[in-house]
Amino acid sequence: MGAPLDSSETPSQRYLTALAGQLAADGCEPRWEQWRGGRVLVGRRADFRIQWVATRLHLFTIAAVTPELSVPAIQDFTRSAQQYAKEHKGGLPPGLQTGIALFPCLISERVDPAALAWAEATSIVEFAVMTRPVAVDAASGIVGGFRRTPFVGWIYSSYLRSKMTLYFDGAVQALDRRGR
């Protein structure tokens, strides 16, 4: 069991802290950054698989709490996270046996159901960059994100689904074990 919950934190803040723990446990070296005056969690790892046509995939998870989670809010956050991942990947340029996968995640207790539906239906694929936005309703523990297999990028789908389950669903489970 983890440490007792801090009753002064909001459910969204507790979820973000639990997500940081999930990322750390998976070797993502999470850290906190300031974006537009707000605190953002950034986790990153890189994996190489022969099955991925000998490609190294850099997985970024970028998460923040927002007062209200709407479709425009998650779309804007997704664009900012995509730019961040492209600027901070390092190494070879994307496409030269290397690519980027990204989970931009917004967390709130006030979630527009349309934002959850948008996240569940959205997989953005650009050249060597795959983005799967995630919307989390911290009040109910509902996680919305794309979990299907797209035509483009299908070779990475099982990996991305497993990481989504480990990170985002895992954070909900960790909070449930601690009495959310």
Domain span including residue 81: 11-177
Q: Is residue 23 part of a domain?
A: yes
Q: Is residue 132 part of a domain?
A: yes
The continuous run of DSSP H or E covering 39 comes out as strand 38-49
pLDDT of 114: 98
Percentage helix, strand, coil, to 5, in the chain? 40, 30, 30
- Distance of CA 37 to CAs 104, 133, 134, 138, Å? 17, 21, 21, 22
Contact 42, 85 (CB under 8 A): no
Residue 158's pLDDT band, with cuts at 50, 70 and 90, is confident
Whole-number percent of the chain with pLDDT over 70: 81
Q: Is residue 100 part of a domain?
A: yes
Q: Is residue 2 part of a domain?
A: no
DSSP state letter for 111 = B
Query: 90 pLDDT exceeds 70?
Result: no
Residue 152's pLDDT band, with cuts at 50, 70 and 90, is low
Q: Is residue 70 part of a domain?
A: yes
C-beta atoms surrounding 148 within 10 Å: 10
Q: Is residue 71 part of a domain?
A: yes
Query: 1 pLDDT exceeds 50?
Result: no
- Structure token digits, residue 161: 């689904």
Query: 65 pLDDT exceeds 50?
Result: yes
pLDDT of 80: 95
How do residues 15-33 score in pLDDT, each as one tens digit?
999 999 999 999 999 999 9
- Structure token digits, residue 158: 């099982």
| Dist. CA 57–CA 2, nearest whole Å | 31
Query: 7 pLDDT exceeds 90?
Result: no
Q: Is residue 4 part of a domain?
A: no
Mean pLDDT computed over 71-78:
97
**Beta strand 38-49 with 55-65: parallel, antiparallel or unpaired?**
antiparallel
Residue 51's pLDDT band, with cuts at 50, 70 and 90, is low
How do residues 99-146 score in pLDDT, each as one tens digit?
888 999 999 999 999 999 999 999 888 877 889 999 999 999 999 998
In one-letter notation, the amino acid at residue 170 is G
The residue to which tokens 């960059």 are assigned: 129
Query: 52 pLDDT exceeds 50?
Result: yes
Number of domains composing the chain:
1
Contact 133, 88 (CB under 8 A): no
Q: Which residues contact 40 (CB under 8 A, 6 or more apart)?
A: 32, 33, 34, 62, 63, 64
At residue 166, φ and ψ (nearest 5 deg) are -60, -45
Lowest mean pLDDT among 32-46, 66-80, 114-128, 154-168: 154-168
pLDDT of 3: 47
Q: Is residue 15 part of a domain?
A: yes
